[in-house]
Amino acid sequence: MKRLTPGTILAALAFAALLGADFYAPRLINPYVYQILWLCGINVILASSLNLVNGFTGQFSIGHAGFMALGGYVSAAIAVFAGHALGGVPAWLFLVSLLSGGLVAALAGLLVGLPSLRLRGDYLAIVTLGFGEIIRTLILNVDAVGGARGFTDIPILRLLLSGASEPTPSLSIVSCTAFLSVLIIYRMIHSPRGRAFVAVREDEVAAEALGIDTTRTKVTAFVVGAFFAGLAGGLFAHTTGYLNPSSFQFMKSIEIMVMVVLGGMGSLTGSVLAAVLLTVLPEALRAAQGYRMVLYSALLIVLMLARPQGMFGSTELRLPWARKGPGKP
Amino acid sequence: MDAHLQTFIQQLLNGVVWGSIYALIALGYTMVYGILRLINFAHGDVYMFGAFMGYYAARLFHVDQRPGVMGTILVFACSMAAAGLLGFLIERGAYRELRKGSRTVAYMIIGTAIFAAFNGAALHLAGGAAVLFGAAGFVAGGIGGVFLERNKRHAPSTSRLTALITAIGVSLLMENGGLLVFGADPKFFPQILPSRELNLGGIMVNSSLLIVLGVALFLMFALRFLVMHTRAGKAMRAVSFNRDAASLMGIPTDHIISLTFVGGSMLAAAAGILVGLANPKIDPLMGIMPGLKAFVAAVLGGIGNIPGAVLGGLIMGISETLVVAYVSSTYRDAIAFALLILILLVRPAGLLGTHVAEKV
Amino acid sequence: MIFSREFRVRTVAASILVATLGVMALAGCQGGGKAVLKVGEYGSMTGGQANFGISTHEGIQQAVDEQNAAGGIAGIPVEVTKYDDQSKAEEAQTAVQKLVNQDGVISVLGEVASSNSLAGGPVCQRAGVPMISPSSTNERVTKVGDFIFRVCFIDPFQGNVMAKFARENLKLSNVAILKDLKSDYSVGLTDVFAKSFAAAGGKIAVIQTFSKDDQDFRAQLTSIKATNPDGIFIPAYYTEVGLIARQAREQGITAPLFGTDGWESSKLTEIGGKALDGCYFSTHQSMDNPDPLVQNFVKGYEAKWGKKPDALAALGYDSAKLLMSCLTELAKQDPEGFKALQGNATPVNRDARKAAQKKLRDLIAATKDFAGVTGKISLDADRNAVKSAVVLKIKDSAFSFATSIQP
């Protein structure tokens, strides 16, 4: 058992606060702010899982939205069709559907990860991009999940505590899943085995020479990244209650990648903060109307020019009193 | 002629024409990539910009009312010049800043934003004054930037993803700026060359398609000549091979990089006008999908390789057409991409790319 | 500290920038205390469907400006708050959340694409805010709940109209369909048309698809040509149809093309030119209709925006007109409730406001023979507009009346 450090205590407190969100959040904030908060949660999962692939393992995936779409659609389909068969959607079914969404996405991650044995850099990028487009085209043609019209009437993950009849999605579940995802990815990277990810990024040949199974490491990164993306997709489906293939276009993958680069490649805390920032920023810019996207893109360029390594580079944001972590990646 | 064969040849022709457009755009990607290892995502938007410049040039010089060869050449020249300038500005304003670790442009944009914000929030000025204030901010930001940064050295960025995100930022800026400036509605591209249908033994061809094919081929060969047989082309190849070594040999690498951007952008602008001739509808978002597919084509052919880009573009165009014709138009994109992935799995460095041996 | 001094300076600079933008945002929000009727609108102002969203907005804005110029509703001006959803479903949902829960609008107008209306609709339904979609044609949109209305046809109606027209008036027997795979509008109409046309004894030769961003349809058209159809049904928007027509003629296809209300725009013939001669499309109303209501709209629109209105603008105009006429009625019937709807929502008037919105909903639901630019609108029990369709023929870049079909 590890020593109880201030960091651990703080993390536990934060987790407790997130778990209680369903209790206090709907009383304090209006549904609009509420929605932005859970969107932040979902984006945090997406950004940190992509950081594992692109930032820590140094691969080049631009098809993350494809995994998200797959997870979202699988999870929604299970909840809808099994829900019909059961005459309702019990809590355990959500767990099953979310996890299967993640697992199917992970399987797809394995499929995409395997070519990464042969391909590098931009060639790998094309494969992931192609995969994302293939998934989307397939979904467009499945009428059972709505095709171009979109998948409607997806059961919503209800509030945990208040038992309200209103179908308000649960912020607690989203935020706690986000918290746990980041924690799991963090522990993975900082585990002795997990150092292999960074080794592969820094120098594949040297890593191989050290006895690291680089193939396995890369595929692991893809599978784990895809799993969390699928999970995020499932949460997205069960919070918006509606899915449309156009939500998972190539630009969505790019948006997630922007979060990773802005936060800093190889900085999980950076990814978390960037995900939140880039979810809130477009909302803050809403008043600018037609100029909003122009401002957004100009800001993106400025941020990249002024701070090319992202907000945090490859360092993690640490609390001043926290114990020094196991070294910088 | 057999009806099936006739249809097949017709489809093949459709594919070759559209593939040559992909090829022209792919050339720009591949040239820039070869020299900078940068995926210039804004390239598809340069293609859009070229089409719009052609549109305005044609209206300005009334070529739309008096279609003709001289007018068309004029439109091509104007549009290619404008797009070349844009390519130069993009390289100078964004990618070179990133490469050198300079911050001046960042300050310029911030300056513009702050002045525009003041203008918008407090002064409620009319349109002309807003532009004036924006320009003032731009200059002030630039001067401020130079002043603040005069004694500083920033480490130049080497991350390729950073460059990629910058490129995406430029691309988004152009698309959304285009929506504001050109308007979201599609525009009719004036028919600057008289066109007519030709019947070649049962195969129907519009003369504009043959012009597309001809001009595309001409430009590809012109580029090939430029790269293989001129001093600038030699320098380009040297920079692409090893930038530092080229620099040590006295090659002005920055100029060569600018030249590459200008050249690639001009090709994209030509592709934009050619598309306007064959499919006369242009809109500010028209560059997204062709840009993406041309990029895929460039990678397929072996990115950085000029004949590869042409080959990749043609394969992309023909395979899309044949999939629609003989497999399923519904699954076109999926099948086309699956095909590409398969090709890449067999030849991991693209069709004509050479596998770089890893240095140990 | 892990941050360099330089980074801190930059952080401060960035904060100032963000704060400036924040002040701008706040400045834009102020003045909510005065008596206005706040109406929300969400649509695509950027992204792939921006031209549709902008057209719709121009129609809505024109209706509102006309109303305000005539003294507003019972002396209270109407104010439109518009948000861009970037043509994305999840953005549409967030935009509606902001309109409904942050800005406290009385009612929401939008969207064009059914997929976006399906994402935004549930938010309005949950909050009890009436939403009128100008041009979402998919059946499912109003099934979201009893607060969701529309002023356009639904896919089944228009699909049937065109199937009937093709079979009976054009006497076609072998029709090919070219649909946009990425558009719910196109896919929905294709399904209905194919069924209905087959039921009427016709044959569907082939269904080919394209994607919204395509510029080259030659491969699909060559394949269609090989099946020798006597007509091609293209349920799509004017943005693509013009090019499709050109390329079809270029390939030597002479069969007539026919389509639906997405065709109606002056851009259609501008891009398609002669290729469209002899083609037909169904729509709501001929803009040449001498009815002063239609002519005033066309003239007003041209004067205000400097271009000819398309079907989307007319539908946007009608949706706003319908809402404002119901508000006028509410002001007459229930002055207290109408008062609660003015200005911003406060904790004090919350319940009164909710009740008034419910009354407004009932008034909209009771709409009967509302004289709109796009025809006489009556809302049925499913909150769908019931109105007649007209079929227009294209000749020399002009639309002329061909026939009218009653529901």
What's the pLDDT tens digit per position in A116-158? 777 877 788 888 988 998 999 999 988 889 888 899 889 888 7
Q: Write out the E strands in C273-365.
A: 280-283
Q: Residue B184 to residues A159, B177, B191, C166: CA-CA distances in angstroms?
A: 41, 10, 21, 33
**Residue B169 to residue A297, Cβ atoms within 8 A:** yes
pLDDT of residue A326: 43
Contact C118 A150 (CB under 8 A): yes
Number of domains in chain A: 1
Residue A6 in tokens: 């201030």
CB of A257 closer than 8 Å to CB of B161: yes
Length of chain A: 329
CB contact under 8 A, B109 and A301: yes
The whole-angstrom separation of Cα C259 and Cα C235 is: 5
Domain positions in chain B: 3-101+158-346
Which of these, C200, C158, C152, C155, lies nearest to C175 by C-alpha position?
Answer: C200
Rounded Cα distance, C222 and C253, in Å: 9
Q: Is A23 on the interface with B (CB under 8 A)?
A: no
| Nearest alpha-carbon partner for B295 in B13, B18, B38, B36 | B38
State which residues form the domain around A205. 6-250
**DSSP one-letter code for A243:** B
Q: Is C211 in CB contact (< 8 Å) with chain B?
A: yes
Chain C within 8 Å of B289 (Cβ-Cβ)?
yes
Which pLDDT tens digit goes with each residue over A254-305?
Answer: 899 999 988 888 899 999 999 999 999 888 878 777 777 888 888 888 888 8
Contact (CB<8Å) A150/C84: no
pLDDT tens digit string along A32-56?
898 999 999 999 999 999 999 998 9
Task: Give, in degrees to the nearest 5, the angle at Cα B256 between B250 and B257.
Answer: 125
Q: Is B154 helix (H, G, I), strand (E, B) or coil?
A: coil
Identify the closest residue of chain A to B302 by CA–CA distance.
A123
**How do C385-386 and C389-395 pair as beta strands?**
unpaired
Q: Which two tokens stand for residue B23?
A: 């090829």
Neighbouring residues of A290: CB distance < 8 A, sequence distance ≥ 6: B179, B180, C45, C46, C84
Q: Return the number of other C-beta atoms located less than 10 Å from residue C389's C-beta.
A: 24
d(CA C96, CA C111): 10
> Which chain B residues are within 8 Å of A115, Cβ to Cβ?
341, 344-345
| Burial tier of B317 (Cβ tally within 10 Å: 0-12, 13-18, 19+) | buried
Instruction: Tell me the chain C residues in contact with residue B332 when contact means C-beta distances shorter than 8 Å.
Output: 209, 211
**Mean per-residue pLDDT, A301-311:** 82
Q: Is the peptide bond before C111 cis (omega within 30 degrees of 0)?
A: yes
Q: Which two tokens stand for residue B249?
A: 């040999």
Which residues of chain C neighbour A290 with C-beta distances below 8 Å? 45-46, 84
Residue C139, amino acid: E
Q: State the DSSP H helix or E strand holding residue A240, giving kind and residue range, or none if neither.
A: helix A214-240
- Write out chain C's pLDDT in tens, 407 residues: 445 555 555 555 555 555 554 444 444 444 445 688 999 999 998 888 888 999 999 999 999 999 999 998 989 999 999 999 988 888 999 999 999 988 889 999 989 989 999 999 999 998 999 999 999 989 899 999 999 999 998 989 999 999 999 999 999 999 999 999 888 899 999 999 999 999 999 999 999 999 888 888 999 999 999 999 999 999 999 989 999 999 999 888 999 999 998 898 888 998 998 899 999 999 988 888 888 999 999 999 999 999 889 889 999 999 999 999 999 999 999 998 898 898 887 777 888 888 999 999 999 999 999 999 998 999 999 999 988 899 999 998 889 888 888 87
Nearest C-alpha neighbor of C47 from the set C89, C80, C81: C89
Token pair for residue C32?
Answer: 């909510």
Q: Among A230-234, B227-231, C82-86, name the most confident range.
A: A230-234
**What number does CATH give the domain C37-153+290-387?**
3.40.50.2300
CB pair distance less than 8 Å for C213 and B288? yes
Q: Which residue, among C48, B168, B165, has the nearest Cα to A309 in the 3D structure? A: B165
Which of chain C's residues have a Cβ under 8 Å away from the Cβ of B14? 216, 218-219, 222
Give the pLDDT score at B154: 64
pTM for the model: 0.88
Q: Is A165 on the interface with C (CB under 8 A)?
A: no
Q: Where are the alpha helices (DSSP H) in C98-208?
A: 114-127, 140-143, 155-164, 184-199
Task: Note whether C2 contacts A167, CB cutoff 8 Å.
Answer: no
Taking CA–CA distances from B331, the nearest residue in chain A reads A137
CB A200 within 8 A of CB A214: yes
Query: What is the pLDDT, as a whole number, of residue C16?
Result: 53
Burial string for A126-135 (b: 16+ CB within 10 Å, else e) reads: bbbbbbbbbb
Give percent of chain B above pLDDT 70.
88
A57: CB partners within 8 A, 6+ apart = A197, A198, A200, A201, A217, A218, A221
In sequence order, the 6+-apart residues with CB closer than 8 A to the CB of A230 are: A67, A68, A70, A71, A72, A74, A75, A101, A102, A103, A104, A105, A106, A108
With respect to residue A306, please indicate whether it lies within any of the assigned structural domains.
no
C218-226 and C238-250 helices, crossing angle to 10°:
60
Torsion angle (degrees, nearest 10) of CA C150, C151, C155, C160: 140
Residue position matching structure tokens 């390519």? B87
Q: Which two tokens stand for residue C86?
A: 């970037």
Report the pLDDT averaged over residues B148-155. 64
Does residue A141 fall inside a structural domain?
Answer: yes
Q: Tell the CATH topology of C156-283.
A: Rossmann fold (3.40.50)
Rounded distance between C-alpha atoms, residue C287 and residue C154, angstroms: 21
Q: Domain-by-domain residue ranges, chain C?
A: 37-153+290-387, 156-283
CB B267 within 8 A of CB B216: no
Q: Which residue of A has its CA nearest to C122?
A: A241
Higher model confidence: residue C260 or residue A310? C260
One of 1.25.40, 3.40.50, 1.10.3470, 1.20.120 is the CATH number of B3-101+158-346, namely: 1.10.3470
Judge whether C164 is closer than 8 Å to chain A, CB to CB: no
Identify whether the C-beta of residue A197 lies closer than 8 Å to the C-beta of residue A221.
Answer: yes
Which structure tokens are listed for C401?
A: 């009346």
Q: How many residues does chain C have?
A: 407
Give me the count of residues in chain B.
360
